[in-house]
């Protein structure tokens, strides 16, 4: 129950201050169908329960209005998916069902299901999507209901994304619970310290429950993402540096910015345009005063090797003279109240209508309208405010929220394939469906280019449609620190292509904080500097030359790491593995590693142990088993030890595992230079191995085998290269007819500096 000193009615409040009583379990009122299947997915046994309550006795006029929602939007249809395997679900008897941790469920009210499970003391909790939390989520309550909440602090509960996949970690075993329903859920992970977990699922419909038996962490995530999908390879340019600000007000500023990056030799691939490029915040328009040459801007920028991304919010300005609004009204594409009126609320454009993305016609219309950007050369689309956020309904759920209200009492209705449903039941899908339409727009307009979509809201499986960022953080060291556990849990929930605003969005960054943020940001899969209107500028050249030098050098290292990063995305596409991983991913059973969330693994070979406080000059670093080399100095550390390590400002806080071979590119100003960059295989140790993935970085051709995967080995100091996959042989596509790439290797200690490598068959 919220306790707000400004509005609390003290008489009621006093009544609430009683001793703690165990809450009795509700009586099960379920009547309906429950069906059980099981399968082995990526080697992990999974139980699936399909639960459908009998439709409440609908009033005669409502019979065709009440949709059941049989469809899962989260789980991919294995028949139509490129990434997931066909899964063989076997019918099982429901009577003999016994789930791990004694998981049980019941229907507590017509609009609520409760789930209970045991949480022995030693169990840790991971995953659950985007949570403002340490890595271990235990001891807190987690409400999953898409909310524009810019206050990221310990009270933050509802945030932008909703991914109801919880990992229960115990020793080397990782079990999973996935409640597949877009409806709001409240997960209580033993807040009362009674060793039990509870979930309330607020729905008048049914749900699918998936329970994954204990497995290794990589196997569990592989199984979960086999069901819910993986991100296909992103365009290479989207992995470079992205520069954003709310907002660059006019095209002169954009051109000036591009100039600055190139003159100062700070690598950058993308400039991002926030809401002020529009004409009075009308979506699919541009300001004629401030962006008079909108149609040639992207071309000019392309000549300077920049891509442009524009923000696109869902709210459509209520304006009879605005063709998009008129079309939406005419074709019945907006969300409508139970009374049949178009729902109107305030967002940036003023009074606005909200597209009903649950409807296929709306998605088609949106997809086609997005051509406005694509025909003007815009390369990527950034979806914001898609919870959907509304200025006067920040927290639309009734409080207290004990069960899902009837459909017609839920703000407005949305139209699914199965009929109308109350908005709250499907609100968590709003950003997901918008992302789906947006991705389709890019694919349709540019069939042979990998799309780039960025979204703030999203739900299970969003990685199939878009990259994500974690919304409005602040320029605080606390938020720098929190970005580690938050992104780790997002990654374990299937969403690998993620990042937070580098430098912090709200507040004013300091030069030192910005540098520290870039030291970690180099390893965010999504690498973008962004800040709010009210904050001080934080482009890399907004501070002293000393700061600029440090930031430049960090961004340069991001570009050097691109071949390794591409390899990690390739790994994600095939196994669901995130790029940022908790230490325990690679060091299972190591209890110190499991307790550590101020360090992380970036792939199997790099460990990041950053400075997270102001004026920090050194920190304790835990080195798991093995031998480690400091990225910047080559200094050697023996593993299974915690050591005090210096963290000078501006140095990449990374350590490489002995036995690794990292493929590195040369420094470049943008990924347009990537295909010509020499590749150095940096060898760590006398016996080492690695891989190097290369393709054209832009098309879908890798899906039909047009890529190379080189296997690199060093045995007793002798370097060998062989083709794991050689799909570009005889093609010059990679190099667009230009000079052929040079390959060489060198050892970390400087021996064998730059020995040229001849590729097999070259």
Contacts to ligand MIG by CB under 6 A: 246, 274-275, 311, 384-385, 456, 471-472, 505, 530
Rounded to the nearest whole angstrom, what is the least distance from the CB of residue 426 to ligand MIG in the complex? 22
The C-alpha atoms of residue 488 and residue 268 are separated, in whole angstroms, by: 25
Rounded to the nearest whole angstrom, what is the least distance from the CB of residue 452 to ligand MIG in the complex? 16
Which CB sits closer to ligand MIG, 112 or 245? Answer: 245
Which CB sits closer to ligand MIG, 347 or 429? Answer: 347
| 3-state secondary structure (DSSP) of residue 511 | helix
- The position carrying tokens 């595992």 is 657
Which CB sits closer to ligand MIG, 84 or 473? Answer: 473
Rounded to the nearest whole angstrom, what is the least distance from the CB of residue 398 to ligand MIG in the complex? 24
Beta bridge partners of 745: 681, 755
* Residues ≥6 apart with Cβ < 8 Å to 633: none
Decide if 356 is catalytic. Answer: no
Which CB sits closer to ligand MIG, 385 or 606? Answer: 385
- Are 84 and 224 in contact, with CB atoms under 8 Å apart? no
Q: Bin 202: left if φ > 0, else alpha if -120 < ψ < 50, else beta.
A: beta
Q: Write down the catalytic residue from 180, 190, 345, 384.
A: 384
Under DSSP, the state recorded for 287 is -
Q: Write down the catalytic residue from 387, 519, 598, 694.
A: 387
Which CB sits closer to ligand MIG, 47 or 472? Answer: 472
Q: Which structure tokens are listed for 127?
A: 């995953």
Query: b vs e for 359-377, b when ≥16 Cβ sit within 10 Å of the residue's Cβ?
Result: beebbebbbebbebbbebb
Determine the Cα angle at 32 with ends 28 and 36, to 5°.
Answer: 95
Which CB sits closer to ligand MIG, 349 or 603? Answer: 349
Which CB sits closer to ligand MIG, 218 or 314? Answer: 314
Rounded to the nearest whole angstrom, what is the least distance from the CB of residue 160 to ligand MIG in the complex? 8
Determine the Cα angle at 155 with ends 153 and 160, to 5°.
Answer: 75
Rounded to the nearest whole angstrom, what is the least distance from the CB of residue 473 to ligand MIG in the complex? 9
Rounded to the nearest whole angstrom, what is the least distance from the CB of residue 471 to ligand MIG in the complex? 5
- Are 655 and 642 in contact, with CB atoms under 8 Å apart? no
According to the 3-state scheme, what is the secondary structure of 437-453?
Answer: HHHHHHHHHCCCCCCCE
Decide if 387 is catalytic. Answer: yes
- Are 666 and 743 in contact, with CB atoms under 8 Å apart? no
Rounded to the nearest whole angstrom, what is the least distance from the CB of residue 170 to ligand MIG in the complex? 37
Rounded to the nearest whole angstrom, what is the least distance from the CB of residue 504 to ligand MIG in the complex? 11
* Residues ≥6 apart with Cβ < 8 Å to 628: 607, 636, 637, 639, 655, 656, 657, 658
Rounded to the nearest whole angstrom, what is the least distance from the CB of residue 472 to ligand MIG in the complex? 5
Which of 471, 310, 312 is CA-nearest to residue 380? Answer: 310
Which CB sits closer to ligand MIG, 116 or 391? Answer: 391
Which CB sits closer to ligand MIG, 225 or 473? Answer: 473
The C-alpha atoms of residue 175 and residue 100 are separated, in whole angstroms, by: 8
Which CB sits closer to ligand MIG, 450 or 456? Answer: 456
Which CB sits closer to ligand MIG, 119 or 275? Answer: 275
Rounded to the nearest whole angstrom, what is the least distance from the CB of residue 99 to ligand MIG in the complex? 38
Cis before residue 376, ω within 30 degrees of 0?
A: no
CA 196 to chain centre: 29
Q: If you write DSSP's letter for every residue of 677-737 in order, what string do you get?
A: S-EEEEE-SSSEEEEEEE--SSSSGGGGT--EEEEEEEETTEEEEEEEEE-STT--GGGTT
- Are 603 and 575 in contact, with CB atoms under 8 Å apart? no
Rounded to the nearest whole angstrom, what is the least distance from the CB of residue 384 to ligand MIG in the complex? 5
Q: Residue of minimal CB distance from ligand MIG?
A: 246
| 3-state secondary structure (DSSP) of residue 312 | strand
Q: Bin 57: left if φ > 0, else alpha if -120 < ψ < 50, else beta.
A: beta
Query: b vs e for 528-543, b when ≥16 Cβ sit within 10 Å of the residue's Cβ?
Result: bbbbbeebeebbbbbb
List, in sequence order, the alpha helices (H) in 493-617.
511-521, 545-560, 562-575, 583-586, 591-594
Q: Write down the catalytic residue from 134, 313, 440, 472.
A: 472
Q: How far is CA 58 from CA 62, 233, 407, 460, in A?
A: 6, 47, 11, 30
| 3-state secondary structure (DSSP) of residue 585 | helix
The C-alpha atoms of residue 210 and residue 228 are separated, in whole angstroms, by: 12
Which CB sits closer to ligand MIG, 277 or 585? Answer: 277
| Count of CB atoms situated within 10 Å of the CB of 545 | 9
| 3-state secondary structure (DSSP) of residue 247 | coil
Which CB sits closer to ligand MIG, 152 or 586? Answer: 152
Rounded to the nearest whole angstrom, what is the least distance from the CB of residue 530 to ligand MIG in the complex? 6
Beta bridge partners of 244: 272
* Residues ≥6 apart with Cβ < 8 Å to 408: 338, 422
- Are 746 and 754 in contact, with CB atoms under 8 Å apart? yes
Rounded to the nearest whole angstrom, what is the least distance from the CB of residue 247 to ligand MIG in the complex? 7
Which of 652, 659, 596 is CA-nearest to residue 624? Answer: 596
Decide if 274 is catalytic. Answer: no
The C-alpha atoms of residue 234 and residue 699 are separated, in whole angstroms, by: 9
Q: Which structure tokens are listed for 123?
A: 């169990």
* Residues ≥6 apart with Cβ < 8 Å to 680: 663, 664, 665, 666, 743, 744, 745, 746, 754
Catalytic residues: 384, 387, 472
């Amino acid at each position: 129950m919220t306790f707000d000193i400004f509005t609390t009615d003290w008489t009621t409040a006093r009544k609430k201050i009683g001793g703690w009583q165990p809450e009795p379990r509700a009586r099960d009122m379920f009547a309906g169908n429950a069906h059980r299947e099981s399968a082995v997915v990526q080697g992990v046994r999974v139980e699936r329960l399909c639960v459908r309550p009998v439709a409440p006795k609908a009033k005669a006029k409502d019979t065709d209005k009440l949709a059941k929602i049989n469809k899962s939007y989260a789980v991919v249809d294995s028949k139509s998916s490129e990434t997931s395997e066909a899964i063989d679900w076997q019918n099982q008897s429901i009577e003999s069902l016994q789930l791990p941790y004694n998981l049980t469920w019941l229907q507590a009210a017509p609009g609520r299901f409760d789930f209970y499970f045991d949480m022995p003391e030693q169990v840790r909790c991971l995953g659950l999507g985007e949570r403002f939390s340490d890595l271990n989520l235990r001891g807190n309550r987690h409400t999953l209901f898409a909310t524009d909440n810019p206050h990221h602090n310990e009270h933050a509960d509802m945030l932008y994304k909703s991914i109801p996949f919880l990992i229960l970690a115990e020793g080397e075993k990782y079990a999973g619970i996935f409640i597949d329903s877009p409806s709001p859920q409240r997960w209580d992970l033993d807040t009362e310290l009674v060793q039990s977990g509870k979930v309330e699922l607020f729905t008048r419909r049914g749900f699918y429950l998936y329970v994954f038996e204990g497995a290794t962490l990589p196997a569990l995530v592989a199984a979960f993402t086999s069901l819910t999908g993986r991100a296909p390879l992103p365009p290479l340019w989207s992995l470079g540096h992205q520069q954003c600000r709310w907002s660059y007000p006019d095209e002169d500023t954009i051109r000036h910015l591009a100039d600055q990056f190139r003159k100062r030799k700070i690598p950058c691939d993308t400039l991002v345009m926030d809401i002020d490029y529009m004409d009075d915040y009308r979506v699919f328009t541009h300001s004629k005063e401030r962006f008079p040459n909108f149609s040639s801007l992207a071309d000019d920028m392309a000549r300077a090797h920049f891509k442009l991304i524009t923000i696109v919010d869902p709210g459509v300005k209520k304006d009879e003279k605005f063709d998009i609004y008129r079309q939406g009204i005419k074709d019945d594409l907006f969300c409508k109240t139970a009374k049949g009126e178009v729902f109107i609320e305030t967002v940036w454009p003023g009074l606005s209508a909200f597209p009903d993305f649950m409807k296929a016609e709306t998605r088609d219309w949106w997809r086609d309208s997005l051509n406005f950007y694509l025909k003007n050369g815009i390369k990527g689309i950034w979806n914001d405010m898609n919870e959907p956020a509304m200025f006067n309904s920040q927290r639309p759920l009734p409080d207290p929220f004990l069960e899902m209200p009837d459909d017609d009492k839920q703000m407005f209705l949305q139209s699914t394939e199965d009929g109308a449903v109350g908005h709250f039941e499907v609100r968590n899908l709003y950003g997901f469906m918008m992302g789906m339409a947006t991705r389709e727009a890019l694919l349709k307009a540019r069939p042979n280019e990998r799309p780039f979509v960025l979204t703030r809201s999203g739900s299970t499986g969003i990685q199939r449609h878009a990259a994500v960022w974690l919304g409005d953080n602040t320029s605080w060291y606390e938020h720098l620190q929190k970005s580690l556990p938050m992104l780790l849990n997002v990654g374990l929930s299937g969403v690998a292509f993620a990042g937070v605003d580098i430098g912090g969005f709200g507040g004013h960054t300091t030069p030192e904080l910005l540098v520290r943020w870039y030291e970690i940001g180099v390893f965010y899969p999504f690498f973008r500097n962004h800040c709010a209107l009210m904050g001080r500028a934080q482009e890399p050249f907004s501070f002293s030359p000393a700061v600029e030098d440090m930031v430049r050098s960090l961004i340069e290292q991001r570009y050097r790491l691109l071949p390794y990063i591409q390899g990690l995305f390739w790994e994600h596409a095939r196994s669901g593995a995130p790029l940022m991983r908790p230490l325990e991913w690679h060091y299972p059973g190591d209890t110190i590693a499991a307790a550590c969330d101020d360090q992380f693994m970036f792939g199997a070979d790099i460990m990041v142990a950053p400075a997270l406080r102001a004026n920090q000059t050194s920190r304790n670093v835990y080195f798991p088993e093995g031998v480690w080399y400091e990225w910047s100095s080559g200094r050697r550390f023996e593993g299974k030890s915690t050591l005090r390590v210096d963290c000078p400002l501006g140095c990449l806080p990374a350590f490489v595992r002995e036995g690794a071979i990292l493929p590195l590119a040369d420094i470049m100003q943008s990924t347009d230079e990537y295909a010509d960059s020499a590749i150095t295989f940096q060898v760590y140790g006398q016996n080492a191995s690695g891989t190097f993935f290369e393709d054209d970085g832009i098309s879908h051709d890798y899906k039909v085998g047009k890529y190379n995967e080189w296997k690199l080995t060093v045995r007793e100091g002798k370097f060998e290269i062989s083709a794991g996959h050689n799909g570009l042989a005889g093609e010059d596509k990679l190099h667009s007819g230009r000079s052929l790439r040079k390959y060489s290797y060198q050892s970390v200690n400087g021996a064998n500096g730059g020995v040229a490598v001849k590729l097999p068959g070259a």
